[in-house]
């Protein structure tokens, strides 16, 4: 446990360095924990913002009420988030299709997974994962989906979240439409 003297020193040192101060530095630091952007709720590029605005205008139609427009923007944003998650899902399966094995970041959970991972190293004469992909397209897809499953389950969470957000705003717009706003 830190002594009172150490705590005091820590606090005074922290005062000397409180992170980046310039706007560019702050902007860069704001993306320190950025991983894949699937949980982000802000336009990533100007092009993305333009497309969001275009879709929002189409959703809102002739509405002039600022609340409707704001809800339409949020719904459009969620729609693009959803499309992005779906693209990542497809890319994840394609990656497993192309490379056979799928480098997982999660801990190996079964004896089979451990054996598959350690097999080539331990000289157990197990074939490399990419060599064991089935040959028929339907079987190859199934095997690729199976290998990508842990990632797909995680992506499903982001997909559900984006879909729920979109539904929430579209419902609000429909409600406002009912009220004639």
Q: What angle do CA 40, 45, 46 make, to 5 degrees?
A: 135
Query: Distances from the Cα of 72 to the Cαs of 11, 83, 132, 140, in angstroms?
Result: 46, 16, 48, 41
b/e map 67-86, b = 16+ CB within 10 Å: ebbebbbbbbbbbbbbebbe
- Rounded to whole angstroms, the Cα distance separating 169 from 52 reads 14
Q: Which of 112, 123 has the CB closer to other proteins?
A: 112
Mask: binding to other proteins, 84-123, rule CB under 8 A, as x and -?
Answer: --xx-xx--xx--x-----------xx-x-----------
Q: Which of 11, 178 has the CB closer to other proteins?
A: 178
**Length of the chain in terms of residues written:** 181
Q: Which stretch binds other proteins (CB under 8 A): 2-10, 18-26, 39-47, 147-155?
A: 147-155
Out of 7, 36, 50, 58, the only residue in the binding site for other proteins (CB under 8 A) is: 58
Q: Which residues bind other proteins (CB under 8 A)?
A: 51, 54-55, 58-63, 68, 79, 82-83, 86-87, 89-90, 93-94, 97, 109-110, 112, 134, 137-146, 149-150, 152-153, 156, 160, 163, 166-167, 170-171, 173-174, 176-178, 180-181
């Amino acid at each position: 446990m830190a002594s009172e003297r150490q705590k005091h020193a820590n606090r005074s040192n922290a005062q000397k360095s409180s992170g980046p101060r310039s706007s560019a530095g702050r902007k860069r630091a704001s993306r320190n924990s950025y991983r894949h952007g699937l949980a982000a709720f802000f336009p990533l590029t100007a092009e993305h913002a333009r497309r969001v605005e275009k879709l929002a205008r189409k959703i809102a139609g002739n509405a002039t009420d600022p609340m409707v427009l704001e809800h339409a923007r949020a719904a459009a944003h969620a729609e693009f988030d959803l499309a992005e998650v779906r693209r990542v899902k497809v890319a994840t399966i394609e990656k497993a299709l192309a490379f056979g094995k799928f480098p997982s970041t999660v801990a190996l959970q079964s004896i089979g997974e451990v054996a598959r991972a350690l097999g080539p190293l331990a000289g157990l004469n197990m074939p490399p994962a990419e060599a064991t992909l089935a040959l028929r397209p339907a079987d190859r897809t199934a095997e690729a989906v199976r290998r990508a499953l842990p990632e797909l389950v995680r992506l499903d969470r982001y997909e559900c979240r984006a879909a729920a957000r979109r539904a929430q705003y579209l419902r609000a717009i429909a409600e406002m439409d009912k009220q004639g706003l």
